[in-house]
């Protein structure tokens, strides 16, 4: 009661045929409505902006993802939400506790506005954590270190998401944090991790646009591709956003074994660990 009712603009353009949707429901809306609101409708009707989470400032957005505008940030977040919803055995709103590990400035976390249960986030970068705390106050956001532990209790989360975080870890740190995520994941919980695999690599090698966002050289990428095609992992130092403190130009030598599975399709990888 007392909620404002709005007409959704998805599905049809005819006003009298539009279904009525309560945008106050946030991510409890039907998934397609929530995705449409976040990815499209707010840019067509700015009055709808009040129903979605705030956007991070461009500088922070670029630092985290290489993106520079709200529309791209919104469509990425909406697409993550869609893929995760499709990958999950139950609606994301039914998990009673969720963690967005390596949340950045909330590209995915923004989509959890209106979640009926506990939503937590952690990141290693204090600037990301500070922005999240101030602007997405309905979440519990904490800073973690470059080494475990993550500041949450054993088996605390029914679902854990890690979007493009393991992409940035070397093999040793990756293994440490995989083990740590297992610790904070409930026994029957689900762990959803996204990493770049063959399709992303192929797209990056097609031209300068993605190479520029990644801030890596074409040569380094080609060498790494050869290593990757040989069944091994390869690491390249990024020189742009998210650059580590390693000496400029340093390339970590390829390593062999990995605890991460690979998809045969080459599409973004989601691991489910029980
Ligand atoms: C490419 S960004 C992705 C951010 C966010 N998941 C998204 O999709 O927008 C990688 C994020 O991982 C964070 N990160 C890197 N190493 C981390 C670690 N060991 N623990 C937690 N966060 C980490 C970075 O600070 C950054 O925010």
Q: What is the pLDDT of residues 66-102, one digit of tens each?
A: 888 999 999 999 999 999 999 999 999 999 999 999 9
State the residue for tokens 């990756």. Answer: 174
CA of 57 to the centre of ligand 1 (A): 17
State the residue for tokens 């944090």. Answer: 177
123 in contact with ligand 1, CB cutoff 6 A: yes
Task: Answer whether 82's CB lies under 8 Å from 31's CB.
Answer: yes
In testing the pocket of ligand 1, which one of 56, 104, 136 has its CB within 8 Å of the most ligand atoms? 104
195 in contact with ligand 1, CB cutoff 6 A: no
77 in contact with ligand 1, CB cutoff 6 A: no
Q: Which listed CATH number (1.10.3720.10, 3.40.50.150, 3.30.420.40, 1.10.1060.10) goes with 58-194?
A: 3.40.50.150
- Comma-separated ranges of CATH 3.40.50.150 domains in the chain: 58-194
Which carries the bigger pLDDT value, residue 205 or residue 189? 189
Give the global pTM.
Answer: 0.80
150 in contact with ligand 1, CB cutoff 6 A: no
pLDDT score, position 19? 59
Burial of 139: CB neighbours in 10 Å, binned 0-12, 13-18, 19+ = buried
Pairing of strands 118-123, 97-101: parallel
Mean pLDDT within 101-112 = 97
State the residue for tokens 């599975």. Answer: 261
């Amino acid at each position: 009661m007392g909620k404002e009712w709005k007409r959704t603009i998805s599905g049809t353009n005819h006003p009298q045929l539009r279904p009525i949707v309560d945008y106050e429901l946030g991510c409890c809306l039907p998934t397609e409505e929530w995705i449409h609101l976040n990815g499209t409708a707010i840019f067509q009707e700015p009055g709808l902006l009040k129903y979605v989470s705030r956007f991070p400032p461009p500088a922070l957005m670029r630092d985290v993802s290489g993106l520079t505008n709200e529309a791209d940030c919104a469509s990425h977040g909406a697409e993550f939400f869609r893929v995760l919803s499709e990958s999950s055995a139950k609606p994301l709103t039914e998990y009673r506790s969720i963690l967005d590990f390596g949340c950045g400035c909330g590209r995915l976390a923004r989509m959890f506005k209106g979640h009926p249960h506990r939503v937590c986030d952690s990141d290693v970068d204090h600037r990301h954590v500070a922005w999240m705390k101030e602007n997405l106050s309905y979440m519990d956001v904490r800073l973690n270190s470059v080494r475990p532990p993550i500041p949450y209790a054993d088996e605390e989360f029914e679902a854990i998401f890690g979007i493009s975080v393991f992409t940035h870890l070397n093999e040793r740190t990756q293994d440490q944090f995989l083990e740590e995520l297992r610790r904070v994941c409930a026994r029957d919980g689900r762990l959803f991790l996204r990493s770049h695999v063959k399709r992303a690599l192929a797209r990056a090698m097609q031209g300068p646009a993605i190479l520029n966002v990644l801030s890596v050289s074409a040569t380094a990428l080609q060498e790494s591709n050869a290593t990757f095609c040989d069944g091994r992992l390869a690491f390249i130092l990024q020189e742009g956003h998210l650059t580590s403190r390693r000496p400029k130009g340093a390339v970590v030598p390829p390593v062999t074994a990995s605890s991460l599975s690979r998809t045969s399709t080459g599409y973004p990888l989601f691991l489910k660990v029980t």
